[in-house]
Amino acid sequence: MDETELFATYRASGDLALRNQIVERYLPIAAMIAKKFVGRGVEFDDLYQIASLALIKGVDRFDGSKGVKFSTFITPTIAGEIKNYFRDRSRLVHLPRRVSELRQSVRKTADEIFSQTGRNPSPCEIATALGVTEEEVVTAMESGGVVSLDRPADGENEDGASYYELIASPEDEFEHLERKDAIRSALKDLTEEERQIVACRFGKELSQSETARRLNVTQMHVSRMERKILEKLKENLRKSAVD
Amino acid sequence: MLLTMEFPLGREIMTTVRLAVGGVCSLVGFGLDACEDCKVCVTESLLLLLHAGCGRAKIVFSREDGLKIEISGEGGGVPAEKTTEEEISVALLTALVDDLVTEHTENGARISFGFKGL
């Protein structure tokens, strides 16, 4: 069955087996086009998958009666899908396609008006030229740009504080200091051996057996001491909280 | 005119040409995607000229509403769409560039297109 016949039969019957047959016949084209977009940070397999999905959609949309060969029709369709994928993937914050396209048109129109008039156009002028509302133009203009947290917050001074440094810490630093101080004073009342056990178990995060091996005692001893130390620490902390 | 390149046409030189095209795109301020698209278009044009039997090629880059690229092949015929690969090359070029023109020259063929790089 030639191409025209195949598509005509599929359009008439809607037979899925026939559609699969068409898709399989043109999969090499999908692979060929996907290969042309390799080297942009996306694996061939992913590109091939996108191209194959575009091919399936294209088979359903193709109208052979218009005199265009399927390969001519499907190539821009697949290339378009792959390019859309790259565009969507290249932004950390995904903009809706309409906003993204409007952003490009706004920039282009602004450049054109600037070259004609020699001055920067207002959003109202751009909106009139593009046939959209002023609000849409402003939204499109404001929607771009990802800012690095390492960038100086005042925009110029390289030695100044970065955005990252200005972000509030999720943990209250004073609370953290207070807690540290309470633990330090609670540890003061421990014996040398008890302090060594705390250092091994909670500082170095060793197991009871490893701690026992290092301190040359039994694991049972470490376990008993640990219970005793925890009780002692709890009591000390309770006392310091009351004071 | 921004830059002209002349070289013997063969598959082994494609990588070098693609690198040079990337450099030109960067020079005119194209983004990564536009730059990659431009590389694809130049490669496809050269492949079409190669299939048409051209032995040498010349690429002229000029700044004209983005980038205007003229690729001439010497010693061959006009690129045709005889094989699927050639059909795909032409369809891809049509999809990716503005105003694709393929024409006869005295001693071969020329493919030219504009690239706005948006």
Rounded to whole angstroms, the Cα distance separating A219 from A227 reads 13
pLDDT score, position A189: 81
Q: Which has the higher per-residue pLDDT, A68 or A172?
A: A68
Strand partners, B59: B5, B71
Residue B54 has pLDDT above 80, yes or no: yes
Q: Which has the higher per-residue pLDDT, A83 or B80?
A: A83
> Which one-letter amino acid corresponds to residue A94?
H
Location of structure tokens 């105003």: B99
Burial of A115 (0-12, 13-18, 19+ CB in 10 A): exposed
Of B40, B84, B87, nearest to A36 by CB-CB distance is: B40
Percent of chain A at pLDDT > 70 equals 88
Q: CA B30 from chain center: how many Å?
A: 17
Residue A147 has pLDDT above 80, yes or no: no
Largest pairwise CA distance in chain B = 36
Query: Between chains, do B91 and A40 touch, taking CB under 8 Å as contact?
Result: no
DSSP of chain A: --HHHHHHHHHHH--HHHHHHHHHHHHHHHHHHHHHTTTSSS-HHHHHHHHHHHHHHHHHH--GGGS--HHHHHHHHHHHHHHHHHHHHT-SSPPPHHHHHHHHHHHHHHHHHHHHHSSPPPHHHHHHHHTS-HHHHHHHHHT-----TTSBTTSS-TTS-BHHHHSPPSS-HHHHHHHHHHHHHHHHTS-HHHHHHHIIIIIS---HHHHHHHHTS-HHHHHHHHHHHHHHHHHHHHHHHH-
DSSP of B25-39: HHHTT--HHHHHHHH
Rounded to whole angstroms, the Cα distance separating A3 from A68 reads 11
Please state whether beta strands B3-8 and B56-63 pair in parallel, antiparallel, or not at all (unpaired).
antiparallel
* Least confident range of A88-92, A102-106, A148-152: A88-92
Q: In what order do the strands lie in the sheet with B3-8?
A: B3-8, B56-63, B67-74, B108-115, B98-105
B-chain residues near A29 (CB < 8 A): 84, 88
Rounded to whole angstroms, the Cα distance separating A180 from A123 reads 55
pLDDT score, position A27: 92
What is the average per-residue pLDDT within A131-135? 87
State the pTM of this model.
0.54
Query: Between chains, do A33 and B92 touch, taking CB under 8 Å as contact?
Result: yes
- CB of B37 less than 8 A from some CB of A: yes
Map out the domains of chain B with their CATH numbers.
Answer: 3-115 (3.30.565.10)
Mean pLDDT over all residues of chain A? 82
Interface test with A, best of B25, B63, B92, B96 (most A CBs within 10 A): B92
What is the average per-residue pLDDT within A46-71? 88
Query: Between chains, do A86 and B84 touch, taking CB under 8 Å as contact?
Result: no
> Which one-letter amino acid corresponds to residue B105?
T
Rounded to whole angstroms, the Cα distance separating A104 from A101 reads 5
Nearest chain A Cα distance for residue B91, angstroms: 6
Which of the four pLDDT bands, split at 50, 70 and 90, describes residue B30?
A: confident
Q: Chain A residues contacting B, CB < 8 Å?
A: 28-29, 32-33, 36-37, 39-40, 69, 71-72, 75-76, 79-80, 83, 86-87, 90, 104, 107-108
Query: Between chains, do A29 and B33 touch, taking CB under 8 Å as contact?
Result: no
Residue A211 has pLDDT above 60, yes or no: yes
User: Which of A24-28, A103-107, B79-83 tops mean pLDDT?
Assistant: A24-28
Query: Between chains, do A87 and B96 touch, taking CB under 8 Å as contact?
Result: no
Query: Any residues with CB less than 8 A from the CB of B108 and at least 6 apart, and which?
Result: B49, B52, B54, B72, B73, B74, B75, B76, B77
CB atoms near residue A44 (< 10 Å)? 14
What is the average per-residue pLDDT within A185-199? 85
pLDDT score, position A13: 87
Nearest chain A Cα distance for residue B88, angstroms: 6
Query: Any residues with CB less than 8 A from the CB of A43 and at least 6 apart, and which?
Result: none
Is the alpha carbon torsion for B44, B50, B53, B54 positive or negative? positive
Sequence length of chain B is 118
Helix (H, G, I), strand (E, B) or coil at B15: helix
pLDDT score, position B111: 92
Q: What angle do CA A199, A203, A207 make, to 5 degrees?
A: 85
Percent of chain A at pLDDT > 90 equals 14
Residue of A nearest to B97 (CA): A76
Query: Between chains, do A33 and B85 touch, taking CB under 8 Å as contact?
Result: no
Largest pairwise CA distance in chain A = 94
Residues A208 and A223 sit within 8 Å (Cβ to Cβ): yes
- CB of B92 less than 8 A from some CB of A: yes
pLDDT tens for residues A169-190?
666 667 777 777 877 777 878 8
Residue B46 has pLDDT above 90, yes or no: yes
Q: Which two structure tokens, joined as six digits, stand for A55? A: 């091919």
